Amino acid sequence: MAKTSVLIRNVKKETLEQLKARAERNGRSLQAELLDILEDAAAFSQVVRDRLALLAEVRRTHPIQAGDISSVDLIREDRDNR
Protein backbone atom coordinates (compact mmCIF):
# COMPACT_ATOMS: atom_id res chain seq x y z
CA MET A 1 0.00 0.00 0.00
CA ALA A 2 1.37 3.39 -0.95
CA LYS A 3 2.09 5.77 1.90
CA THR A 4 1.89 9.52 1.80
CA SER A 5 2.54 12.40 4.14
CA VAL A 6 -0.02 14.76 5.63
CA LEU A 7 0.61 18.22 7.03
CA ILE A 8 -1.84 19.69 9.54
CA ARG A 9 -1.61 23.40 10.20
CA ASN A 10 -3.03 25.68 12.85
CA VAL A 11 -3.26 23.08 15.61
CA LYS A 12 -4.04 24.76 18.93
CA LYS A 13 -1.16 24.66 21.38
CA GLU A 14 -3.36 22.99 24.02
CA THR A 15 -4.40 20.29 21.55
CA LEU A 16 -0.82 19.61 20.57
CA GLU A 17 0.23 19.34 24.23
CA GLN A 18 -2.61 16.89 24.91
CA LEU A 19 -1.59 14.77 21.93
CA LYS A 20 2.06 14.79 23.01
CA ALA A 21 1.04 13.69 26.52
CA ARG A 22 -1.14 10.93 25.07
CA ALA A 23 1.75 9.73 22.89
CA GLU A 24 4.06 9.68 25.91
CA ARG A 25 1.53 7.71 27.98
CA ASN A 26 1.32 5.16 25.16
CA GLY A 27 5.08 5.00 24.72
CA ARG A 28 4.97 6.30 21.15
CA SER A 29 6.26 9.22 19.19
CA LEU A 30 3.79 11.98 18.35
CA GLN A 31 3.79 10.83 14.73
CA ALA A 32 3.04 7.22 15.70
CA GLU A 33 0.25 8.36 18.02
CA LEU A 34 -1.34 10.55 15.36
CA LEU A 35 -1.13 7.74 12.81
CA ASP A 36 -2.84 5.37 15.26
CA ILE A 37 -5.61 7.92 15.90
CA LEU A 38 -6.18 8.40 12.16
CA GLU A 39 -6.22 4.66 11.45
CA ASP A 40 -8.71 4.04 14.29
CA ALA A 41 -10.96 6.82 13.01
CA ALA A 42 -10.89 5.46 9.46
CA ALA A 43 -11.62 1.90 10.61
CA PHE A 44 -14.48 3.11 12.82
CA SER A 45 -16.05 4.93 9.88
CA GLN A 46 -15.96 1.72 7.84
CA VAL A 47 -17.58 -0.25 10.69
CA VAL A 48 -20.38 2.30 10.90
CA ARG A 49 -20.96 2.14 7.13
CA ASP A 50 -21.00 -1.67 7.23
CA ARG A 51 -23.52 -1.74 10.08
CA LEU A 52 -25.76 0.81 8.40
CA ALA A 53 -25.70 -1.26 5.20
CA LEU A 54 -26.64 -4.38 7.19
CA LEU A 55 -29.47 -2.51 8.91
CA ALA A 56 -30.78 -1.30 5.55
CA GLU A 57 -30.68 -4.87 4.22
CA VAL A 58 -32.59 -6.18 7.25
CA ARG A 59 -35.19 -3.44 6.85
CA ARG A 60 -35.49 -4.20 3.14
CA THR A 61 -35.90 -7.95 3.64
CA HIS A 62 -38.07 -7.72 6.77
CA PRO A 63 -40.35 -4.70 6.39
CA ILE A 64 -42.63 -3.82 9.26
CA GLN A 65 -46.21 -4.67 8.41
CA ALA A 66 -49.34 -3.13 9.84
CA GLY A 67 -50.45 -5.31 12.72
CA ASP A 68 -46.95 -6.49 13.62
CA ILE A 69 -46.29 -6.79 17.33
CA SER A 70 -44.78 -3.60 18.70
CA SER A 71 -42.04 -3.40 21.30
CA VAL A 72 -44.63 -2.02 23.71
CA ASP A 73 -46.71 -5.16 23.26
CA LEU A 74 -43.67 -7.36 23.84
CA ILE A 75 -42.78 -5.51 27.05
CA ARG A 76 -46.33 -5.77 28.34
CA GLU A 77 -46.39 -9.48 27.52
CA ASP A 78 -43.10 -10.00 29.33
CA ARG A 79 -44.39 -8.16 32.41
CA ASP A 80 -47.62 -10.18 32.41
CA ASN A 81 -45.67 -13.45 32.33
CA ARG A 82 -43.64 -12.68 35.44
Q: What is the pLDDT of residues 50-64, one digit of tens each?
A: 999 999 998 888 877
Residue 65: what pLDDT?
A: 72
Residue 43 lies in a domain: yes
Residue 26 lies in a domain: yes
pLDDT exceeds 90 at position 69: no
Which residues touch 35 (CB under 8 Å, ≥6 apart)?
A: none
**How many beta carbons lie within 10 A of that of residue 61, not counting itself?**
7
pLDDT exceeds 70 at position 28: yes
User: Looking at the 3D structure of the chain, how many domains does it have?
Assistant: 1
| Mean pLDDT, range 40-56, rounded to an integer | 90
**How many beta carbons lie within 10 A of that of residue 19, not counting itself?**
15
Which residues touch 63 (CB under 8 Å, ≥6 apart)?
A: none
Residue 80 lies in a domain: no
Residue 72 lies in a domain: no
Residue 7 lies in a domain: no
pLDDT exceeds 80 at position 1: no
